[in-house]
Amino acid sequence: MLSRSAEGLYWTGRYLERTDHLCRLLRVQVETLVDRPVREIHFGWRRIYASLGRLPPGANVALGGADDDLTLADAYTLADHLTFERTNPDSVRNGFSMARENARQMRHCISAEFWTTFNLAWLRFKSRRIEEIWKTAPETFYTEVSRDIDTLGGVAATTMYRDEGWRFLELGRYTERAMLMLALVLAHLAIWRRQAGESVRADDSWSSLLRVCQAVDAYRRRHGVEVRPARVIDLLVNDPRLPRSLCHSFAMTVAELQALPIGPGPMADARRLASQMGTALRNDWPAGSSLDAREACLRTLQARFLTLHGLVMAAYVGYDADGAPVR
């Protein structure tokens, strides 16, 4: 497969996953605006921006500080910035738009059904504005966008030929899912520690993390209704049966890499590193240890995953030319 096609499909998968992830975060966040305490609402905004590595508009200090940091930008402004703002590279609109642009450039590699479904979803999205969705139920809007992306995944799974193009699309999805999970859990843990002793209840904040990751039912089956931070982290990181767990994303990443042919670059190194990371997560995860030990392990995995991304790019993408896929 041409390196340009491989990269375009890889980034299509990544941007779709990123868009869905942010929609789930925003759906949970806007639901808290109805009846939750102010500190819990601010906790949610800080978690979103910290996981993205960005500051909210109007805030000139680090996230996690005093509540006054966010009084410069209310929930309406923050939701608009994260959803429709064209100058925010991490907004839902930009993620969706870049996924579609990559798919457009790779029309020869995707099914007609996938492209048609993609266009219909994009047309529904691009006609919306924050003023419109805020008048009724903004959480419904984010649910609908996530549902459209789920539909796209289903159409791709049932109509796309299982060639290298499919492998790169899936590799992008699971790479992004793993990196987003790492960033989210680390951001949540850091902000929760900063606000220790304040009025944000541990079970409320960690329950919201489970909701974002669609893991509430799985947690209750294993542990009941009592929410403990260590148990939440262990579930989200190390349960292979949870579709959005880090462990599952690692396993799928390894599977897609193994299915791809060895390229002229360091593909063997990428496979080896991915396998080592998966093995380390299964065998060396510090379950039963402190939260500090878990955090240290996650930061190590985060750094190694960035290395893995670099190896994949080096193996299949080795150019800098006009018309390259959108990144």
318 within 8 A of 267, measured Cβ to Cβ = no
- Position 64 scores a pLDDT of 44
DSSP state letters, 259-313: HSPP-SSSHHHHHHHHHHHHHHHHHH--TTS-HHHHHHHHHHHHHHHHHHHHHHH
Within a domain: 324: no
- Position 63 scores a pLDDT of 43
Q: How far apart are CA 236 and CA 227, in angstroms?
A: 13
117 within 8 A of 13, measured Cβ to Cβ = no
Within a domain: 322: no
Q: How far apart are CA 192 and CA 44, in angstroms?
A: 10
- Position 268 scores a pLDDT of 86
- Position 262 scores a pLDDT of 75
Percent of the chain with pLDDT over 70: 89
Within a domain: 19: yes
Number of domains in the chain: 1
Put residue 197 in one of left, alpha, beta given phi > 0 → left and psi -120 to 50 → alpha. Answer: left
Q: How far apart are CA 168 and CA 176, in angstroms?
A: 12
- Position 290 scores a pLDDT of 92
Within a domain: 142: yes
- Position 72 scores a pLDDT of 41
Within a domain: 326: no
- Position 186 scores a pLDDT of 98
The one-letter code for the residue type at 62 is A
- Position 223 scores a pLDDT of 95
In the chain, which residues have pLDDT < 70?
1, 59-73, 196-202, 263-265, 318-327
Q: How far apart are CA 141 and CA 125, in angstroms?
A: 9
In this structure, what is the dihedral angle of CA atoms 188, 191, 195, 201, given to the nearest 10 degrees?
-10
Within a domain: 323: no
Which residue is listed with tokens 């009592």? 226
211 within 8 A of 28, measured Cβ to Cβ = yes
**H/E run at residue 126:** helix 112-126
Within a domain: 240: yes
Q: How far apart are CA 83 and CA 93, in angstroms?
A: 6
Residue 51: which domain range? 3-317
- Extended strands (E) in the chain: none
169 within 8 A of 259, measured Cβ to Cβ = no
- Position 38 scores a pLDDT of 85
- Position 68 scores a pLDDT of 44
Q: Which of 285, 253, 283 is nearest to 270 (CA)?
A: 253
